[in-house]
Every structure is written in structure tokens, then in C-alpha cells.
Amino acid sequence: MAKDSTKDMTVGSPMKLILGFSVPLLFGALFQQFYSVVDTVIVGRFLGVNALAGVGATGSLNFMIMGFCMGVCSGFAIPVAHKFGAKDYSGMRQVVANSVWLSLFFSIVMTTAVTVLCRNILTWMKTPEDIFDYAYSYIFIIFLGIPATYLYNILSGVIRSMGDSKTPVFFLTLASGLNIGLDILFIVVFEMGVAGAAAATVISQLISGLLCLAYMIKKFEILHITKEEWRMNPGHMGQLCSMGLPMGLQYSITAIGSVILQTSVNTLGALAVASVTAAGRVNMFFSCPFEAMGSTMATYGGQNVGAKKLDRLGKGLKSCALLGAGYAVLAFVVMYFFGDNLAALFVDSGEKQILANAKLFLTINSAAYVALAMVNIFRLMIQGMGFSTFAILAGVFEMVARSLVGLVLVPKLGFLGVCFSNPLAWVSATAFLIPAYRHVRRKLDKMMNGAEI
């Protein structure tokens, strides 16, 4: 085993461990968003506002399906972290093997289903006629890449579960550079339109997944799975599904609200869709630190629960919450003063209405970043502790909030109503997650005193 590639998060200063683990994750998230941003910049600049709106109109649908894939993989990684923390390496390999079988099954079923239904879904979402073909061309190819999404996320999740947050980021960085090059090649040189942007994304993610696989085979002897360990185990599969499916459903349930909201935004026309697309890309870029903190807490919580060091959970949670709140304040200041300048990366500076809308969206959203920080930190900590079902409930709160905005506020307030969708969702989920953490923490104490997790 490459001992320097793993990190035991059950000993040492929680703050130092969280910073050391989350910084590489942050760079990975930034690079992932960076090539997503480059996609949007190139589409907006070279293909026009309608193409940009077409790609943006698929955002919530994309999140609903791909979010399920990523959530399932994150859930599968939790039992790996538990086994690693408990030093049960044979059991860990069996869990990894069974997660591979399940990922293969899910990827085949999902790819088949969503590629067949995506045109109908876009129609149901009231995608404007002038951007419909752009939306369909983009999302169809993205859905064909679902197996690549599973490949990268399951392998990177396993690597992170053993405390190595740097290696997946390194490969993702290489893939990001490749994605940018392919964007230019497919869109500018080969004139493939939005289909070229989608193809570039799928190819890049496939390569990052293959690089993770090659690295694991070469460097992690602890993950060399025997023929016996490759056997399907109903017990392990049940445990993996009990973790993975709730996390996947949490993303999808959350996205249902986003789909309903997107449907309402689509009724406002291509200009509104383009405004949300430009602002949304900036918003996702600035949200990367919160994602990194959440992923860190999942591994931190998983390893410490596996090692039965429950006293470290609260310390780590407090340290991460302080980091999240500090960054949230800084991000709000940047958005307030430079929101329109950041949105101008995606559209021509002459699109005054789009830029004004985007700044309004970014200012209102960033004002609620503290709540977003808490959502990510508390939710992923709870999941890492082994209580993934609570993720679904948190997702329900977000779904309801976004649905109400889409059905009530947007028809009455127009674009202003759209701006309040995320803040209301984040606040609603936070109000549930904080007492939920206290509940599962008490439950873990009782379980540790009686039976093993």
C-alpha cells in the first residue's frame, strides 16, 4: 500500500486535517467548474445567446440525473471509509467490489432510460421552441456519458475514503485542460455546436476516470481485490444501497424543485434563461469551497465513526463551520461589488439586461451563502456518520422551497422571484439539518454503548 497516499483522519488536529484535506478538493471542484465555465463562455461567445440559453435550460435536468449518479457514488464511499477507519481491509475490498457491480448496473439502466425520455422531458419543461434543439443536442450527449460519470465518481470516492484527496484532483485537473482544448477544437474548429461542448465534457470525464483506475491498480496494493472478494455479496450490496440510494435520491429530490423552477424560468423567455445560466455558472464557481468542505466532512465523519472516536465529530464540525462562514462573508463582498463583471464573462457587454439580472441573482444568492455552507457541512457530516436517509429529508425541504418559488413567486415577481429560490431552499434545509445532526449524534452514542454500527 502507498502509505503516503492515504490519510488517517482519526488522529491529529481536526482543523489542520480539514484544511489539508479540503484544499485539494477545493482545487478539484474549481477546475471542474472552470471547464464548465469555459464550456459556457465558448458557447455564449461563439454560438450566441440562444445556444447559451439552450445549454442553461438543461441545467436542472442535468443536475437531477448526474446528481443522482454522484450522490450514489458518494454514498458507496461511506462504508469504504468505515472499513478503512476500522482497519478492516479485506472487508473494505469486498465493499469496493460490490460497489463496482452496483455502479455498472445503475449506469446501464439510467443511460438507457434517460436517453429515451430526454426529448419528452424537455417538452414537459416547456423549453422555448427557439432553444429546444440546442438543449436536446447538449443533454442527449451528456446522458450518453453517464457511465463515465459513474467511473470517475466511484473511483475518486474510494480514493478519498482512504484519506487521499490529492490524486483525484490531479487527474481532474489534467482532464479539465483537455476539456478546454476539446471545446475549442469541437466548437470553433469543427463547428459541432453545443454537441461539441457536451462531447468534450464526456470525453474529459472518461479520461479522468481511467486515470484514477490506472493509479489505483499501480499504487494501492490495499485495493488489489482477489477473485473471492469480487463475488457479489447481498449483505454488502444492501449496505451500499442503504447509503448510496438515499444520497442519490437526495440530489434528485432537490433537483425536482429545480426542474419545476426551471420550467417557470422557461416561461419568462430566452433572455431570462440566459441570465440564470450566466449567473448560475458564477454562483457554482463560488460555491466550490462549500462542496469541498462537505466532502471533507463525509470522509472525516466516516473514518472517525469507523474508529469509534465520536468525541472528534463535534470538534471537526465546529472547525469546518467557522471556515465556511468566513468564506461566505468574503464571497458576498465580491459578488456585491463585481457580480455584473463576472457575469460579463459569458455574454457580450452590450447585453445590459442580462448583466443586470445576473448581478441581482448573484447578490441575493451570495447573501445566503452562510446557509449554503451549513447545508453542505452538516448534510455530508451526517451522511459520513452513516445516516444517509436524513439527506433525503433535507432534499425534500429544498425541493418544496424551490417548487413554491417556481409555482408562486416567479409568476408574481418574474425574475426577482427566481433570485430567491436558492436562498429559501438553503435556509429551509439548514433549519432541518442542525437539529438532525444533534439527533443522530445522540443515536450514535447509544449505538456505541450497545451494539456496533
> Quick one: average pLDDT of 233-242?
92
pLDDT of residue 133: 94
Residue pair 110/69 in contact by the 8 Å Cβ criterion: yes
Q: Which residue has the higher pLDDT, 446 or 101?
A: 101
User: Where does the pLDDT of residue 450 fall: very low under 50, low under 70, confident under 90, or very high at 90 and above?
Assistant: low
pLDDT of residue 2: 42
The model's pLDDT over 208-232, given as tens digits with 9 standing for 90+, comes to 899 989 988 888 888 889 999 999 9
Residue pair 327/294 in contact by the 8 Å Cβ criterion: no
Residue pair 60/140 in contact by the 8 Å Cβ criterion: no
pLDDT of residue 340: 82
Asked whether the predicted pLDDT for residue 3 surpasses 60, the reply is no
Residue pair 172/201 in contact by the 8 Å Cβ criterion: no
Asked whether the predicted pLDDT for residue 452 surpasses 50, the reply is no
Report in angstroms the alpha-carbon separations of 256 from 61, 149, 220, 314, 450.
8, 20, 39, 32, 39
CA dihedral defined by 62, 140, 25, 367, rounded to 10 degrees? -30
> Quick one: average pLDDT of 201-210?
91
307: amino acid identity, one letter: A
The model's pLDDT over 167-183, given as tens digits with 9 standing for 90+, comes to 887 887 888 888 889 98
Q: Which residue has the higher pLDDT, 323 or 59?
A: 323
User: Where does the pLDDT of residue 389 fall: very low under 50, low under 70, confident under 90, or very high at 90 and above?
Assistant: confident
Highest mean pLDDT among 3-17, 181-195, 386-400: 181-195
Secondary structure (3-state) at 69: helix
Asked whether the predicted pLDDT for residue 451 surpasses 70, the reply is no
User: Where does the pLDDT of residue 6 fall: very low under 50, low under 70, confident under 90, or very high at 90 and above?
Assistant: low
Cα separation of 219 and 209, whole Å? 15
Asked whether the predicted pLDDT for residue 5 surpasses 70, the reply is no
Cα separation of 122 and 119, whole Å? 5
Would you state the cell numbers that stand for residue 102, as one nine-digit string? 452496483
The model's pLDDT over 277-292, given as tens digits with 9 standing for 90+, comes to 888 878 888 988 998 8
Would you state the cell numbers that stand for residue 453, as one nine-digit string? 454500527
DSSP string, 257-307: HHHHHHHHHHTT-HHHHHHHHHHHHHHHHHTHHHHHHHHHHHHHHHHHHHT
pTM score, two decimals?
0.72
Q: Name the nearest CA neighbour of 328 among 288, 297, 381.
A: 288
Helices (H), 188-269: 194-219, 234-266
Secondary structure (3-state) at 247: helix
pLDDT of residue 376: 92
pLDDT of residue 343: 83
pLDDT of residue 108: 96
CA end-to-end span of the chain: 27
User: Where does the pLDDT of residue 307 fall: very low under 50, low under 70, confident under 90, or very high at 90 and above?
Assistant: confident
Cα separation of 302 and 296, whole Å? 10
User: Where does the pLDDT of residue 32 fall: very low under 50, low under 70, confident under 90, or very high at 90 and above?
Assistant: low
The model's pLDDT over 114-138, given as tens digits with 9 standing for 90+, comes to 999 999 999 998 888 889 999 999 9
Phi and psi at residue 392, in whole multiples of 5°? -65, -45
